Amino acid sequence: MREKGDGFAAAVIAIGLLIVAPGAAAAGGGAAGRAKITVTSGGTCQGCHLGLGDAKLHDPAVGFNHDVHNRPGLGCVACHGGDPKAEDPEEAMSPRRGFRGVPKPSQIPKLCGSCHANSSFIKKFAPNLPTDQLAQYRTSVHGKRLAAGDTNVATCISCHGVHGIRAVKDSRSSVYPTHVVATCAQCHANKALMSTYGIPSDIVEKYKRSVHFEALTKKNDLSAPTCNDCHGSHGATPPGVSSISNVCGTCHVKNMDLFRKSPHAKAFSEIGVGACDGCHGHHDVTVPDDAKIGVGKGTFCGRCHDASDRGGEAASGISAALTLATDTVDRARTEVQDAERKGMLMEKAEIKLQESHQDLVEARTEVHLASVWAVTKRANGAVAAAKAALDAAARARKEIRYRRHGLLIALALILIALVALILKIRKIEQ
């Protein structure tokens, strides 16, 4: 602790020097004169390293310029130790001055944790930042394997990067929601690496087919789940079969509630099938359609039920109710749109369509209760509203017919007038 405290004092002084007399530091640094340096907390470390030709030694000094840790009181020394105000490299990087060099992977969690798990220290920089990451990491599969001596696993820097770490909320960060998949994919899509652990490497591809990935990337819905939303970030662990409904249920609350009240809740746990993924799968969760319900081929229900058992009957009943509602709503939408294309304004029909849409969405949610009655009640509501929209469309068609008839009459009159005119012209010119 004492040594670290000294490092800090040194860093603070170094910054003070740089701010007060940047010219002096540049002149003294020798190599620093060649590269333009911004005033940073890097001290003479950055001054020298920016001037080095070896990319391995040069690039960290560049990257650190936009690192979230590049601020007064932190700096290279915070991780690497050494003396940032010493101008002689030998002196600056001597173990006597606390220089640690490049930390080994196994040391990294503890190194980061020395600040990030220290709540009284973090409070000085980012009071709202949690400090449980290290504790969480130790419970993760990554953390456990690292403790067991496996250095292939992810540590802090595998995901957050190093020398250029950005805040999680920064959209350029490697752990920003839209970048998480690519970050995890560095290892988890690596077939050779994953095969040594006996875990599949196709999960990234599967996830990219999911409705969640689409919501995240196409609709830019940052609340849509990416890897860490289900697996946890620092405590990354696959959720167990029993906890999966809790995980999905954090967002899909209603579906989870209904499912828990359904006869399936008990049955699924008895046969060891996950509550949600039993039907929907997990990484490649796609938008389910009504065709997945029923007992035929390719249906979810058909995996356990056939047409003869009670569950199969219920599935057929639900399927029939949903199909009728979906067809009616679709037909109503087509007809209303058709009337709109013909120039009719269908405001009231639009309201009814919205109602029918709502009922249909709710009917589909009720499917999780596996009750024919509950689904049919909602589906009937959707059908009723859609029929009202269909009536409006029929009225619009009638109005269009009325207009066309009026047009025909007007055209007939114009035609008669034309004939009369031509007769008249011929008459007077005879």
Partner 1 sequence: MRILDSLYRFLDDRLDLSPLIEFARHKEVPRHRFSWAYFFGGLTLFFLFVQICTGILLLLYYRPTAEAAFESVQFIMTRVTFGWLIRSIHSWSANLMILSAFLHMFSVYFMKSYTKPREMTWWSGFVMLVLAMGFGFSGYLLPWNKLAFFATRVGTDMVSKVPFTGDWLLHVMRGGDDVTGATLTRFFGIHVAVLPMLLTAFLIMHLALVQRQGMHVPASLKAEADRRPAIRFFPNFVYRELVVWLVGLALLAVLAAFFPWKLGVKADPFASAPAGIQPEWYFLFMFETLKKIPAMVFGIEGELLGLGAFALGGLFWFLIPVLDRKSQRGERSRLFTVIGIVVLTYIAGTTILTFLGVLS
Partner 2 sequence: MDQDPKNLQPSRRSFVDWLLGTAFGAVVVSAFYPVFRYVMPPKVVEAQTNRVLAGKVSEMKPNSGKIFRFGSKPGILIETPGGEIRAFTAICTHLQCTVQYRPDLEQIWCACHNGHYNLNGINVAGPPPRPLQPYKVAIQGDKIWVSRGA
Contact segment (CB under 8 A) with partner 1 among 55-63, 158-166, 316-324, 403-411 equals: 403-411
CB of 330 to partner 1, least distance (A): 23
CB of 416 to partner 1, least distance (A): 10
Please answer whether residues 386 and 341 qualify as being in contact, where contact means their C-beta atoms are separated by less than 8 angstroms.
no
Comparing CB distances to partner 1, the nearer of 251 and 425 is: 425
| Contact flag: residue 408 with partner 2 (CB under 8 A) | no
| Contact flag: residue 421 with partner 2 (CB under 8 A) | yes
What are the phi and psi torsion angles at 3 (to 5°)? -60, -45
Binding mask 194-223 for partner 2 (x = CB under 8 A): ---------------------x---x-xxx
CB of 335 to partner 1, least distance (A): 18
| Contact flag: residue 423 with partner 2 (CB under 8 A) | yes
**Residue 343 binds which one of partner 2, partner 1, none, with CB within 5 to 8 A depending on kind?**
partner 1
Q: Which residues of 365-389 are buried (b: 16+ CB within 10 A; e: fewer)?
A: bbbbbbbbebbbebbebbbebbbbb
| Contact flag: residue 410 with partner 1 (CB under 8 A) | yes
Count CB-CB contacts under 10 A for residue 402. 10
Please answer whether residues 367 and 322 qualify as being in contact, where contact means their C-beta atoms are separated by less than 8 angstroms.
yes
CB-neighbour burial class of residue 98 (10 A; exposed 0-12, middle 13-18, buried 19+): middle
Binding mask 331-370 for partner 1 (x = CB under 8 A): -----------xx-x-x-----------------------
Among 175, 224, 244, 369, binds partner 2 (CB under 8 A): 224
CB of 218 to partner 1, least distance (A): 17
Please answer whether residues 53 and 23 qualify as being in contact, where contact means their C-beta atoms are separated by less than 8 angstroms.
no
| Contact flag: residue 251 with partner 2 (CB under 8 A) | yes
* Tokens read off for 119: 């709540």
Give SS3 for 58.
helix
| Whole-number Å distance between alpha carbons of 275 and 280 | 9
CB-neighbour burial class of residue 76 (10 A; exposed 0-12, middle 13-18, buried 19+): buried
CB of 347 to partner 1, least distance (A): 7
**Residue 254 binds which one of partner 1, partner 2, none, with CB within 5 to 8 A depending on kind?**
partner 2
Please answer whether residues 390 and 398 qualify as being in contact, where contact means their C-beta atoms are separated by less than 8 angstroms.
no
Name the residue type at position 343: G
DSSP 145-199: HHHTT-TTS--HHHHH-SSS---TTSTTSTTSGGGHHHHHHHHHT-HHHHHTTT-
Name the residue type at position 310: R
| Contact flag: residue 229 with partner 2 (CB under 8 A) | no
CB of 290 to partner 2, least distance (A): 15
CB of 234 to partner 1, least distance (A): 39
**Residue 215 binds which one of partner 1, partner 2, none, with CB within 5 to 8 A depending on kind?**
partner 2
Binding mask 340-359 for partner 2 (x = CB under 8 A): -------xx-xx--xx-xx-
Taking only Cα atoms into account, the Rg of the chain, rounded to an integer number of angstroms, comes to 34
Q: Of 66, 64, 58, which is closest to residue 77 (Cα–Cα)?
A: 64
Q: Which residues contact 232 (CB under 8 A, 6 or more apart)?
A: 136, 140
- Give the position of tokens 């995996």: 303
**Residue 407 binds which one of partner 1, partner 2, none, with CB within 5 to 8 A depending on kind?**
partner 1
| Contact flag: residue 182 with partner 2 (CB under 8 A) | no
Q: Of 223, 287, 280, 222, which is closest to residue 256 (Cα–Cα)?
A: 280
Please answer whether residues 31 and 48 qualify as being in contact, where contact means their C-beta atoms are separated by less than 8 angstroms.
yes
CB of 380 to partner 2, least distance (A): 17
| Contact flag: residue 410 with partner 2 (CB under 8 A) | yes
| Contact flag: residue 182 with partner 1 (CB under 8 A) | no
Binding mask 266-305 for partner 1 (x = CB under 8 A): ----------------------------------------
| Contact flag: residue 337 with partner 2 (CB under 8 A) | no
CB-neighbour burial class of residue 317 (10 A; exposed 0-12, middle 13-18, buried 19+): middle
* Tokens read off for 28: 């003294």
Where along the sequence are the contacts to partner 1 (CB under 8 A)?
Answer: 342-343, 345, 347, 403-404, 406-407, 410-411, 414-415, 417-418, 421-422, 424-425, 428-429
State the residues that interact with partner 2 by CB under 8 A.
215, 219, 221-224, 251-255, 257, 347-348, 350-351, 354-355, 357-358, 361-362, 365, 409-410, 413-414, 416-417, 419-421, 423-424, 427
